[in-house]
Every structure is written in C-alpha cells, then in structure tokens.
Amino acid sequence: MDEIADNSLTVNGERLWATLDRSSEIGAAPNGGLNRLALTDEDKEMRDQFRAWAETDGYSVTVDRLGNMFVRRGGMEPGLAPVIIGSHLDSQVNGGRFDGILGVLAGLEVLRSLDDAGIATRRAIEVVNWSNEESVRFHRATLFGSMAFAGQAVVEDVLASTDDDGLTVGAELARIGYAGPSPVGGRVIDANFELHIEQGSKLEAAGIPVGIVTGGCPTALFQIEVAGENAHIGPTPMARRRNALVGASEIVVLLNEIGWRHADTESRATATNIDLMPNKFGIIPHLAKLTVDMRHPDPDVLEAMKAAFVSGIDAAAERSRCTIKAENHLNLGGLTFDTELVDLLRETAARIGAPAMDLLSMAAHDAYAISTIAPAAMIFTPCKDGVTHNEAEDIDPASTLPGVNVLLNAALSRAQR
Amino acid sequence: MDEIADNSLTVNGERLWATLDRSSEIGAAPNGGLNRLALTDEDKEMRDQFRAWAETDGYSVTVDRLGNMFVRRGGMEPGLAPVIIGSHLDSQVNGGRFDGILGVLAGLEVLRSLDDAGIATRRAIEVVNWSNEESVRFHRATLFGSMAFAGQAVVEDVLASTDDDGLTVGAELARIGYAGPSPVGGRVIDANFELHIEQGSKLEAAGIPVGIVTGGCPTALFQIEVAGENAHIGPTPMARRRNALVGASEIVVLLNEIGWRHADTESRATATNIDLMPNKFGIIPHLAKLTVDMRHPDPDVLEAMKAAFVSGIDAAAERSRCTIKAENHLNLGGLTFDTELVDLLRETAARIGAPAMDLLSMAAHDAYAISTIAPAAMIFTPCKDGVTHNEAEDIDPASTLPGVNVLLNAALSRAQR
C-alpha cells in the first residue's frame, strides 16, 4: 500500500459533472429540475444507470429488500467494517437536480479517484443509494431506506405502505426490479459520511465552500385532525357551522405567527399540505388533516414554540367550532454528529486548504438515521440562493469541489484506519 | 274537461314515499345518504328508473343534448306552452336522499295524481330532471342543465368540460346513454315550479310546513389564486418564505371573520375547498386556488362584505409574502321570483289550508336559471334540523305532503289557464 502524500488527493471534477449531467436527464422536469419519485420508472432508470457505472468500474453492487443499493470498492482487509458514503438518487415533485444526488455521485467519484490514484484501502468503501429519502410518494414511510437500515422502521410495515394509487412499496420495488435479496441493516459500519447541498444560503453568504455539519436542528412534528360537519353553505348560518377548512386555516395562521416570533433566531414553523374532505365547492368539509413542523436550533426555544402552539389550539377550535386534535407524533434532529468524524472533517479541510465553517442541518437526512447505529457526519456544499426542493436548485463546480475533496480525503483517512 | 272542485286535490303520499325509498337505494352511501354524482353509473341507474316509471304510466320522455330529461303529460291544447316542474336527481358527495330528488319525484307524483283524479289539463305538464345541479364533479360547469337551457351556459363548452379524471361531460353523457337528440332550450314555458327541501331550519323552527320562496339571496363568488414559491421547509428562513398555504389560510380566516360580523342578519361567508400545489409534506406550496362565496339578503350589506374582503387581501398578501389575486367572477341570486306565480302559491296554500310563510332561498337552484326565461317560483318543505348536503339529511311525510299538495294544485291551476 502506498503511503498518502501530505498533499491531498483531488477528484476529477469534469467526470463528476458528467455523471450529474447524465442524472439530470433522467426524469427531467419542464423547468430544469427533476421528477424522479421513489420507485417510479424514472427512479428505476437512474438506479440502472448508477449500477451500470459501478459495474463498469468493477465495483460490486448489492441491493437489499428495501432497494437500498450498496456499491462496494473492496478493501485489503475484508473482515473490517466498511466506510460508507451515502445519500439518495430520488427527487421531490418538481425537485432539484442535486438534492441527494450530488452525495451519491460524489461518493462514486471518490471511488473512481482512488482508482486513478492507485490507492488500495484497508477498509472497503461503500457508496449507498438509500431508497425513498424524499418521502413524498408513500404514506407513513419517511426516509424508509436509511431508517429501516438503522432499525427505526419495520421492513414489513414499509413494504406494505401505499401511495395515492394504492400501490405498495413491496409491489413497486418488485416491479422496477429492486426488491433485492439482502437483509436490511444488521451490519457494522465504521463511519458514515454524507455530502449534501446546504439547502440554505449560509455558505453562499459567507463565501465559504465547505460546511462541517455538527448536528441536526431539533424538529417537532404534529399530526393535526380538524373535525367539522358537512353542511350546505347557503342555508347554514354562521353560528351553526363547523367548517374544517376554517379550523385548519386558524391552525396554519397560528403556526406561522409562532414561527415569526422567533424568526431572528432561525425558527421554522410550517404547514405545507392539507387533506380536506370532501374538498368540494359548496359543501362545508367535515375533516381536515395536516402535518405541522416546528424547528429551532435551541431545544428550549422549540419547547416554548410547541407549548405556544398547543395552547393556541383551543382558541382555534372555539373560533371554528371544530374539534381539533394535535398529536406530537415525531421528534427529529436535536442530534450531534460523531465528534471524532466531525473533527476529522475539520482537520481534513484545513489540511487540504478548503475554507470551512461549522453548520447545523435544518433538514432531515439519511445520515440522521445512520448516526443512531454508527459514527456519522455530514459535509454541506453551497447551493445558489439557498433554493432547494425547486427546479431552480443549482450548484457550480468551483464552490462544490472543495467539499467533494474533503469527502475524498476524509473517507480515505478513515478507510486506512 | 271536468271543473275543479273547491276542495283541493291531494297526492298519494305512500306512492310518493315508495319512489323516494327506491331512489334512496340507488347510489346509497354508507351512512344513509347518497353518492350519485352527475353522469356516473349511479346517476344512469336513477335516470333509467325515472324513465321506466314515466313510460309505464304513459308519459312521453325526451332527452336533450345535455341529458336534461322531460317527462310530459300531454295537454288538451298541444300548442300551448307547458307548465314545468323541475329539479334534479343527482346528489352531492355523501349527500342527502332528498335534495333535488324530492322535487322531481313530487313532480311525478303530481302527474300520477292528476291521472288518479281523471283530470285532463289544457296545457301539458312536464317534469324535468335537470342534469348536474350539484356541480361537484365537472370543472367550470355549474348547474349546467338548467343554465344551458336558459342560455346562461354554452352547450359546446359544457360538453367539453372535464372531471378530475379528464373525462368530458360529452363522453360521459354518451357512455351512460343520455346524450339525447333534442336541442337544449329554445322553448317557451308557461310557468316553472320547483319544490325543494328548505336546506335550513326556518320552517321547522316556525312549525310551518310550506315555504313560499319569494326570491334568492344575493350571492357573490370570488376565484382566489395565491402565488408563493416552492422551497424546503427546513433551511428556508421565515423571512424568505412565500407559502401559498399561509396566504390561503389568511384568506379563509379573513372571510370567516367577515361572515361573523353580519351573522345576526343572515350573512354567509364561506370557503370549502382548496387546490394546493404540490400539497406535499416538506415542500412549501407555490400555488393555492380557492373559491370564496359571500351571501347576504340585503344587497347593500353584501356589497359592504365584498369591499371588506377585497380591502383585507393586501394585508393577507403582506403577512404571507404571497401574491393574491381575487376575481369576483360570478354574482348570483338577488332575484325575485315571478309575482303572479308567488301569489298563486300563496293563494293555493290558503285555499287548501296548508300553513305557509314567505322565505328567501339561501342556495342556488335550477329555478334561478329558468327564472331568467320564464315565470318561475319555488316551494320549500322542511328538513330535519336544517341538515343538508349530508347523509343525515331527513324529511317526513307529515311536514312534506302539504307542500307537495300546494305544488299539485298550483300546477293544475296554471295548466288550466
């Protein structure tokens, strides 16, 4: 095995961009973005392309029962736990070309760069495409690839979850040929790296290309059910109405106000979807369901936001004459990534001369789940204007490649451990 | 021709209820109501039943190009314009068993009762099933049967309008066999009667079975478009968001407040549906569309409500950072039914000893459209607790039959004119 030079290795930026350009063709949306929802034909085509690239370069590809794909560049000591570089190749509805995708293709580029440099590593490095990170298609199945791998979701439950057309994850995996034979999870991992676009504008504003993600922003999710009563809008007096849309609107306005109270300290309070029944003109809806999401870097402030929200619900119920149930069904984030890996990323950035700053992740990522079973850390790279989950999402090589080089050199360090 | 006795004719309540019971089986919903949306298989089955009853009793049935069905009991002077008794056999989503249906089947019962009494009339009487009164299935096609008959909608436009699955009115009419050969409208009508459940609780509260509807409540409809911007809810700061759901919720809350300001004088201000794009958890929606409905018996108060709504939109737009367009695309109601027909209904009720009171209709009905081309009036009958557009909608023979008898005797008077 060659000793690593003091000078850093660098990836081949043109080759990385060629893979990104090819990916951008698969499921291309009308305005430059992607529609490549999990387990669709487009997802299958991208998976096939990723597999073809990997096999052409001589890496092994395994697929587990939930369609998670593991592209492995073997190590000299096969008994050692591998280093993992993982993210996702699926997109949002009218999503961007880089959210998740950059992390997987940067991982592939790391493997290729090690080949170019003729470097054999002690540990294997595996690049992972986690299934369904975006969680927009299937009900009750969020980030299911990484979460089930980490034991945070039950494989059989995930396989049975359905989309709006009643199609199950299991049937769709089988249909696209990615219901793999490997068990989900149960493996020892030495380190998990994830590189991702920032999906914010702090790096861009600071003019710094590399974000060292120290942890995740505390996040609270509530499921809201507003129960009203069907009635005809003409004859039914205001005082006899129980309009679930009014109750839901009161909740959204309340939530937005709570978000603004702490806006100067990076609060988020959001509702983005509403399921209204029957959602027809002229008939007062009897039921509205929505999901409420609150985030704040300071867990105490988040608790205060949650309390303000819960205490405002009664007034919203009274004004709308509806019954409103709010269940805080999920709390995410609030995690600190592995100190040793975060330090390694900082040291690597310093060593290769890449300007870097610490950041907190405001969004959930696959690394959140993996951090519960293995040392994990993340690298953020800038995205133009902070725009994401939008077809206009954009990045450029000059501000992206420093982060990919940190990934390469940090993964290499860890793989030689 | 026999002279009419001073004493009134009465309908056969048991026979009427048997037709209502049969109707309640067709498209029966889980909780006692109906799902019999326009031009569905269930609508076809009910139309076939209605046609079979009519033909068995020897009435002629004609169908026009929009599926409006005319069941005609001929008169002695075929050249005279007919008397029409019309309403609709379609239902809301999870709607009631009587809204519209009672009016059509009461019309059929009027024809049968005239047969029972051996009465020939000078004018023909036609019972009409107007297509698609409920207007919940097809886009941009409200009350299309009666409105097109009255020249308020263009037949070709209606035929081309689509439902959520992209099926057109024209194709669905053909599929269920009700794309008839007759032209739509262009006929002279002597008088149009519509009997309908009140869809309110004024009659019930007053203990009076017959409502003489003097006109329709002034109604203003607005189409609202809230334009925001897609973004990821985690990284996007409050101050950079343009959440179309927040803008839409501000509109709904504003509207509801305006409704409450005039609640003691019978105001209505309502939104019941929202079309949100993309309506997915985690991604800020870029577009929300909703329809806003405001009503008040006093046109001046309605104008004040409209002005308050329009003037509140800027603040809603500012708070949500969205662009909000509001178009007052339709103004309905504000109509006065034909004085002569209304007087005839009052006199008939008095003559046959049916307690009656004047009412204003708060909802739109087929008679609104027909009133623009012919003398028209309506009779309301009580419905339990004022509940309507709901599976729990209910009526009983004791409080319903007086109104049906007024219909029979008033239609007879007019048909002998």
pLDDT score for B109: 98
Residue B169 pLDDT: 97
Chain A, chain B: beta-carbon pairs less than 8 Å apart: 225
CB contact under 8 A, B263 and A94: no
The pLDDT assigned to A139 comes to: 82
Q: Are residues B94 and B140 in the same domain?
A: yes
Within 8 A of A363 by CB-CB distance, chain B residues are 232-235
Cβ distance B375 to B339 under 8 Å?
Answer: no
Q: Cβ contact (<8 Å) for A248 and B249?
A: yes
B5 belongs to a structural domain: no
Residues of B (145-204) whose Cβ lies below 8 Å from A: 198-201
CB within 8 Å: A274 and B245: yes
Q: Does A52 touch chain B (CB under 8 A)?
A: no
Q: Are residues B302 and B285 in the same domain?
A: yes
Residues B111 and B192 in one domain: yes
Give pLDDT tens digits for A44-65.
Answer: 999 999 999 999 999 999 999 9
ipTM score: 0.77
Q: How far is B94 from chain A (nearest CA, A)?
A: 9
Whether A234 is covered by a domain: the verdict is: yes
- The C-alpha atoms of residue A347 and residue A369 are separated, in whole angstroms, by 25
Q: Which residues of A touch B361 (CB under 8 A)?
A: 234
Residues A340 and A315 in one domain: no
B238 and B381 part of one domain: no
pLDDT at position B334 is 86
Residues 6+ apart with CB under 8 A from A76: A1, A120, A121, A122
Query: Are A285 and A395 in the same domain?
Result: no
Same structural domain for residues A158 and A211? yes
Q: Tell me which of A276, A300, A331 is where a domain ends.
A: A331
B259 and B296, same domain (yes or no): yes
Location of structure tokens 């269930």? B42
Which residue of B236, B251, B296, B365 is the best one to mutate when testing the A interface, meaning the one whose CB has the most A CBs within 10 A? B236
* Residue A4 is assigned to a structural domain of this protein: no
Q: Which of B249, B254, B258, B284 to mutate to test the interface with A (most CBs of A within 10 A)?
A: B249
pLDDT at A386: 83
B362 with A234: Cβ contact below 8 A: yes
- The low-confidence residues of chain A, meaning pLDDT below 70, are 1-7
| C-alpha closest to that of A308 among A252, A362, A254, A253 | A254
Is B244 found in the same domain as B189?
no
Q: Is there a contact between B231 and A388 if contact means CB atoms under 8 Å apart? A: yes
Domains held by chain A: number:
2
The CATH code of the domain that includes B327 is 3.30.70.360
Q: Which domain holds residue A393?
A: 13-217+334-415
Instruction: Select the residue of A217, A235, A269 nearest B386 (Cβ to Cβ).
Output: A235
**Same domain, yes or no, for A394 and A407?**
yes
Strand A69-73 to strand A83-87: parallel, antiparallel, or no bridges (unpaired)?
unpaired
**Contact between B386 and A248 using a beta-carbon 8 Å cutoff:** no
Q: What secondary structure letter does DSSP report for B373? A: T
Written as tens digits, the pLDDT of chain B (417 aa) is: 333 445 589 999 999 999 999 999 999 999 999 999 999 999 999 999 999 999 999 999 999 999 999 999 999 999 999 999 999 999 998 899 999 999 999 999 999 999 999 999 999 999 999 999 998 899 877 789 999 999 999 999 999 999 999 999 999 999 999 999 999 999 999 999 999 999 888 999 999 999 999 999 999 999 999 999 998 898 899 999 999 999 999 999 999 999 999 999 999 999 999 999 999 888 899 999 999 999 999 999 999 999 999 999 999 999 999 999 999 998 888 899 999 999 999 999 999 999 999 999 988 899 999 999 999 999 999 999 888 888 989 999 999 999 999 999 999 999 999
Q: What share of chain A is helix, strand, coil (3-state, %, to 5)?
A: 40, 20, 40
Verify whether the Cβ–Cβ distance B281 to A273 is below 8 Å. yes
Domain match, A19 and A145 both: yes
Q: What confidence score (pLDDT) does residue B234 get?
A: 87
C-beta neighbour count of B417 within 10 angstroms? 12
Using a 10 angstrom Cβ sphere, with 0-12 exposed, 13-18 middle and 19 or more buried, the burial of residue B7 is: exposed
The answer to whether the Cβ–Cβ distance between A259 and B273 falls below 8 Å is: no
| CATH number for the domain that contains residue B195 | 3.40.630.10
* B190 three-class SS: coil
Query: Is residue B391 included in any domain, yes or no?
Result: yes
| A285 in reach of chain B (CB within 8 A) | yes
Among B229, B257, B283, B330, the residue to mutate for chain A (most A Cβ within 10 A): B283
- Residue A52 domain-assigned? yes
Report yes or no on A1 lying in a domain.
Answer: no
Using the Cβ of B223 and the Cβ atoms of chain A, whether some distance falls under 8 Å is answered with: no
A331: Cβ–Cβ under 8 A, 6 or more apart, which residues? A218, A219, A220, A221
Taking the model in full, what pTM does it have? 0.76
